[in-house]
Amino acid sequence: MPRFIEQALKNDPVTIYGTGKQTRCFIHVKDVVKALVKLIHEPRAVGQVFNIGSQAEISIEELAKQIIKLTKSSSKIKYIPYEKAYEEGFEDMQRRIPDTTKINKLIGFKPTYSLSEIVKDIVNYIK
- pLDDT, tens only, 38-55: 999 999 999 999 999 999
Residue 17 sits at φ, ψ, to 5 deg, of -90, 125
Of residues 91 and 69, more confidently modeled: 69
Where does the pLDDT of residue 99 fall: very low under 50, low under 70, confident under 90, or very high at 90 and above? very high
pLDDT at 86: 78
- Tell me the whole-structure pTM to 2 decimals: 0.87
Where does the pLDDT of residue 90 fall: very low under 50, low under 70, confident under 90, or very high at 90 and above? confident
Q: What does 23-73 look like in DSSP terms, one character per residue?
A: EEE---HHHHHHHHHHHHT-GGGTT---------EEEHHHHHHHHHHHTT-
pLDDT at 100: 97
